[in-house]
Chain A
Amino acid sequence: MSATLPTLPSPAPLAGPTLPRPSLRFLPVYRRNLLVWRKLALPSVMANVADPLITLVAFGYGLGALLPMVGGVRYIEFLAAGALCMSAMMSASFEALYSAFSRMHVQRTWESIMNAPLSLDDVLVAEWLWAATKSLMAAVAIVLVVMALGISRAPTLVLVIPVAVLTGLCFSALGLCFNALAKGYDFFSYYFTLVLTPMVFVSGVYYPQDALPAWLKALAQWLPLSAAVELARPLVLGEWPARVVVPVLVLLAYTGAGFMLARTLTRRRFRA
């Protein structure tokens, strides 16, 4: 019988990728952003309503008058879901890039917050959820416009709201990755021009993906915006989506991977 046990080495200090522990500490940071938004709420809400209204009227009615049925429905009915998903994507992206960058880099708001007993994780979670909230606001505005114009009043229309929120969470996470890498606002032009705009054109926003070459269509289906449109379009038309699990998983995968990458990149930026 051995008299002594070997001394165990003390556990190594936490290093490498760890998961952020869930907590509600992000709430005051989220609330801060909400309070600032409230000061400028009127122009923001107006943009939320006017943008989709203009898109739907200009393209839906203008272009739609020239087109036969698209995907078996009137063009404006086809376009509504695409416009909604695109708007959810854009509102989250703008917030996670330009606005978050102002707070992080220009105003050093993040640094101040971290001098209080909050961590970079708390700030990131708040920014992530806040940018997704902008998608929620945009989606609600569009649903109201779609209902007011009588494009659709299907009960399933309500379900496009959670789709928009998931889309917002996804693009908010992806945007925060680029935010962490940015040296200045100019950098975001690349993301919008080279990533988001092409994605709009292959994700079935303006026309069905059947119009794409077969290989491109196959690839495009794995894009998050494509997944969002696949879910939202039938819901706007009062139908249940043919596939639910796959597109939801695609959005969740981009969201999860995007947030973890954003976290790693932001920590590197802050040399934390």
Chain B
Amino acid sequence: MNDATTPERLAADSTGPDVPPAPAVLRVRGLTKRFGDMTAVDRLDLDVRPGECFGLLGPNGAGKSTTLKLVLGLATPDAGRIELLGHPVPAQARQARMRAGVVPQHDALDPDFTAAENLLVFGRYFGLPERTLRSRVEPLLEWAALSAKRNAKISELSGGMKRRLTLARALINDPEVLFLDEPTTGLDPQARHLIWERLRQLIARGKTIVLTTHFMDEAERLCDRLMIVDHGRAVTQGAPGELTAREIEPHVLEVHGDDARAWHDQAALRVCERLEWVGETAFGYCRDPRAAIETLAAYPRLRYLHRPANLEDVFLKLTGRDLRD
């Protein structure tokens, strides 16, 4: 969609040169939340700057969703301080949420209403004047490519449409910051790309975005900075490229086939800085890929893939390969 059809109100506000640098949108210090014996969030610190897209990455059960709930004031922390848009949370969570938008993991759209009514009814929860509200519904539907589905029931919408409607719903109060909990989980590639496209538009218009995901490609594409969390703790944080550069060797060889074990045992350690054997595949992480590839020639019954290291390698290195379900 081009700019002409984008709602005007989504445009970034004209911040003049005389305006001092904006304070952090979100500041969290020592955040801790326990459920019985389980510590879901463990002394977490994080800062989100205005206008950036910040990603919270972690395996299932790492504490991502709990962190979002705490930050929005929907759960009470056991320790720590939270400041969202200048408001202490949970004490002033209501004021903070007035200026925030949320896309929950489950769309939780209202099945008793049409697409347009969902936006209208939700906007009333913010106490917006009816006229303002009504003037926002159509542009938002259009922005979400749902104008034709204005009067459709929720059950008639596809997964991607529902997610877009949830995104539009989260924008009804024209929020400064948008929280998205796994925004593209369960969507097909076309639907994911459309969501990413819309999120990029929002970032370009000056919105701050905080998202959780366990899709590395999503984080790499969208996030200016990200934090990897595991067992409620921050494992590392930084820009995606910076993390790959800092945490892991730049080249990866994925080697499998009949000779893979032999290569792993005999040759790999001489040429790879780090080596992993997973199932039937050897993962070699190295700085000099040519030396490593030369050793492969001695093992004819091999298949291999040489690729640059990515965020997923960092993620797996830091959080391990154990299943989390």
Contacts and interface: CB of A to CB of B under 8 A. Distances in A.
Q: Is this pair of chains taken from one and the same complex?
A: yes
A209 interface: no
Given A32-B121, A271-B35, A116 B108 contact: no
Interface stretch (A84-92, A106-114, A229-237): A106-114
A137 interface: no
Interface in B1-45: 35
A71 to B, nearest CB: 44
Given A116-B97, A272-B74, A36 B125 contact: no
Given A112-B122, A116-B125, A272-B76, A39 B112 contact: yes
Interface in A222-272: 270-272
A113 B170 CA distance: 11
A31 B130 CA distance: 13
A262 B26 CA distance: 33
B127 A28 contact: yes
A117 B75 contact: no
A115 interface: yes
Given A32-B110, A35-B121, A36-B113, A112 B104 contact: yes
Contacts of B75: 271-272
A118 interface: yes
Nearest to A111: B108
Interface size class of A (residues with CB under 8 A): 20 to 34
A29 interface: yes
Contact of B124 (A31, A36, A108): A31
Contacts of A270: 74
B126 A109 contact: no
Interface string A156-191: 000000000000000000000000000000000000
B112 A113 contact: no
Interface in B90-141: 93-95, 97-98, 102, 104, 106, 108-113, 117, 121-122, 124-127
A119 interface: yes
Contacts of A272: 74-76
A107 B121 CA distance: 15
Contacts of B35: 271
A32 B109 CA distance: 13
Contact of B94 (A29, A108, A119): A119
B53 interface: no
A117 B98 contact: yes
Nearest to A24: B127
B177 interface: no
A117 B125 contact: yes
B57 interface: no
Closest 7 pairs between A and B when the two form their complex, measured CB to CB:
A116-B125, A108-B108, A115-B102, A28-B124, A36-B112, A117-B97, A112-B108
Interface of A: 25, 28-29, 31-32, 35-36, 39, 107-109, 111-119, 270-272
Given A112-B104, A117-B125, A272-B74, 8 more contacts: A28-B124, A28-B125, A29-B125, A32-B121, A111-B108, A112-B109, A116-B125, A271-B75
